[in-house]
Amino acid sequence: MDYMEVVRNRRSIRKYKQDPVPDEILAEILEAGRLAPSGANRQPWHFLVVKGENRGAMGLPDWAAEAPVILGVCGDPEVSATWNVVDPTIAMEHMVLAAANRGLGTCWLGKLGRDEEVKRVMGIPEHLKVIAVTPVGYPDESPPAKGRKPLDEIVHHEMF
């Protein structure tokens, strides 16, 4: 799919089919995250892949826990005190777009500052920050596009 087509057509999905996500596609999605840009190339991230019963124990909404896969990204302040939130966020967006490119749905669930349950269930070290998680699966809905502000309201040339 053309990149801009992926960006235009990606939606937040809250209803998933139970069809499994092939491991090769998951590997491709994770590779997209691994290749994300990183300040000073520190790569202060860890990725979570949850397919088993822990999906329902992470404190996520029921609709999210019903997806066949939950992906998550953690930031490591010990690796980068400066970019431990931004870089994992970029990596997660790469993964979300890679999933959309393969016909999979996602729905970004921010966990920064609200990650205790995910950390407990997944055994994540205390110093890591769970930045976000997303269900991943084949969509069982087709939500319409939401409106976006026009460029002339948000772009400022030369001066604000």
Three-state secondary structure of 110-142: ECCCCCHHHHHHHCCCCCCEEEEEEEEECECCC
Q: Is 157 a member of any domain?
A: no
55 inside domain = yes
160 is a domain residue: no
Residue 109 lies in a domain: yes
Mean of the per-residue pLDDT values for the chain? 97
What number is the average pLDDT over the span 124-151? 97
What per-residue confidence (pLDDT) applies to 34?
Answer: 98
Does 130 reside within a domain? yes
Looking at 14-18, 22-26, 51-55, 105-109, which range is the least confident one?
Answer: 51-55
The answer to whether residue 154 is domain-embedded is no
Residue with tokens 């995250």: 33
> What does residue 108 show for φ and ψ, rounded to 5 degrees?
-60, 125
Q: Quick check: is 25 in a domain?
A: yes
Residue 26 pLDDT > 90: yes
Q: Please compute the mean of the pLDDT values over residues 106-116 and round it to a whole number.
A: 94
Q: What is the pLDDT of residue 37?
A: 98
Cα–Cα distance measured from residue 87 to residue 93, given in angstroms and rounded to the nearest whole number: 10
Q: What is the pLDDT of residue 1?
A: 79
Instruction: Report if residue 24 sits inside a domain.
Output: yes
Name the residue range of residue 40's domain. Answer: 7-140
Q: What is the mean pLDDT of residues 66-72?
A: 97
The CATH number of residue 41's host domain is 3.40.109.10
Domain total in the chain: 1
Strands 105-106 and 109-110, bridge-based pairing: unpaired
